[in-house]
């Protein structure tokens, strides 16, 4: 019987893999190419599937969405509590992913020239997506409103 660690170098040696429930932590001064320096030091949560965020597990982290090319991925926010902080980032190649951020119920997103109404989705469209495009959200009114602190890429509202 063989054991596969949760963090390992992929065969061929040109890719580091963080498997399910593995964690990647970067020391101060470390850089991941393409990721803005303000996010270095955040815990990276890598997901290739739809994910419902949980405050205790994900708040303050960087959600790096690395779905297989051609896959649409939905990240669902929890009911907002003031101070919750999420960075949701496209980890796929350019034009490789439709990334959807789903609000919980009647909450809204506003700020950084982006307004997403209640019951709508924030979308990073596949055709315009560039690797490491992101949206940074902070809850500013419990169960009501998320502030878009910063974003990179073309984010739009669904229907």
Q: Is 13 contained in some domain? A: no
Q: Is 37 contained in some domain? A: no
Cα–Cα distance for residue pair 49/4, rounded to 1 Å: 21
pLDDT value at 4 more than 90: no
Whether the CA torsion 140, 145, 146, 149 is positive or negative: it is negative
Instruction: Give the Å distances, CA to CA, from 34 to 61, 96, 110.
Output: 17, 16, 26
Which range of residues forms the domain containing residue 77? 45-157
pLDDT digits (tens, 9 = 90+) for 105-128: 789 999 999 999 988 999 999 899
Domains: count for the chain: 1
Confidence band, pLDDT 50/70/90 cuts, at residue 1: low
Residue 123 belongs to domain with CATH number: 2.60.120
Tokens of 139: 């809850």
Strands of the sheet containing 121-124, edge to edge, are 51-52, 72-76, 98-102, 121-124, 155-157
């Amino acid at each position: 019987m063989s054991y596969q660690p949760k963090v390992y170098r992929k065969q061929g040696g040109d890719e580091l893999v963080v498997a399910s429930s593995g964690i990647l932590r970067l020391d101060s001064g470390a850089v991941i190419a393409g990721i803005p320096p303000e996010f270095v030091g955040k815990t990276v949560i890598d997901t290739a599937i739809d994910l419902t965020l949980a405050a205790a597990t994900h708040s303050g982290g960087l959600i790096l969405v690395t779905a297989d090319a051609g896959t649409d991925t939905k990240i669902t926010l929890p009911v907002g509590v003031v101070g919750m902080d999420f960075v949701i980032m496209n980890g796929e190649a350019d034009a490789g992913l439709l990334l959807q951020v789903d609000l919980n119920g009647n909450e809204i997103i506003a700020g950084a020239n982006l307004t997403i109404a209640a019951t709508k989705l924030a979308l990073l469209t596949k055709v315009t997506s560039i690797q490491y495009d992101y949206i940074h959200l902070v809850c500013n009114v419990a169960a009501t409103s998320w502030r878009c602190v910063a974003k990179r890429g073309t984010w739009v509202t669904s229907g």
